[in-house]
Structure 1
Amino acid sequence: MSRPKATANTSSPQSPDLRSAENDLQRLRGCLRTVAEFIHDPAVDFAARHVLAQRLGLPAPTPTPAARQAKEATQ
């Protein structure tokens, strides 16, 4: 008896390794989302958020008006 071929319309059972990799990827995406939310949280010190974004290669946060004023005052 031959096994039916998997097509786009039928689902095939996933290997445990593939399922594990997909779970790891989902967990990493959740971590990245959490870090991005932290980086763009204006309640956290701007300099710390900016450095973290740089170190992780993520887009830099936009300074809040208060952070811009403090930065301009130190220049």
Structure 2
Amino acid sequence: MTNSTEATDTTPLPQTSDLRSAENDLQKLRVRLRTVAEFIHDPAIDFAARHTLAQRLDLPVPTPAPAARQTKEATR
């Protein structure tokens, strides 16, 4: 049987702070990746710059928008 002090012990394990730190770092990286992906696929930004960035980061490259669509977006 477990004594009552063991059952209610809330002292964090040493790995808990390391795990929390790793999860926080992972969350920051996910936000940065999402920001970069939004930049790469933003048609308002120069296509060559977006394409080059995607290649350098080994991410999927954006596809150029059709000319009619680019013109329509530019007039907004």
Alignment TM-score > 0.5, same fold: yes
Please list the CA deviations of residues 22-72 of structure 1 after superposition, one character each: whole Å capped at 9, or x if unmatched: 000011001000000000000000000000000000000010123xxxxxx
* Structure 2 residue ranges without an equivalent (≥5): 68-76
Give the equivalent residue in structure 1 for 2:21.
Answer: 20
Q: Which whole-Å CA distance do the structure 2 matches of 1:44 and 1:64 have between them?
A: 12
Higher-Rg structure is: 2
SS at match of 1:15: helix
Q: Say which structure is richer in helix.
A: 2
Q: Quote the residue 1:7 is aligned against.
A: none
Aligned equivalents of 1:63, 1:44: Cα separation in 2: 11
Q: Which runs of 4+ in 1 moved over 2 A?
A: 1-4
Structure 1: how far apart are the matches of 2:16 and 2:47? 44
- Could you tell me which runs of 5 or more consecutive residues in structure 1 were left unpaired when the two chains were aligned: 5-11, 67-75
- The aligned runs of 1:1-75 (5 Å cut-off) are 1=2, 15-66=16-67
Tell me what 1:71 maps to: none
Count residues in correspondence: 59
| AA partner of residue 61 (structure 1) | P
TM-score of the superposed pair, with normalisation by structure 2: 0.68
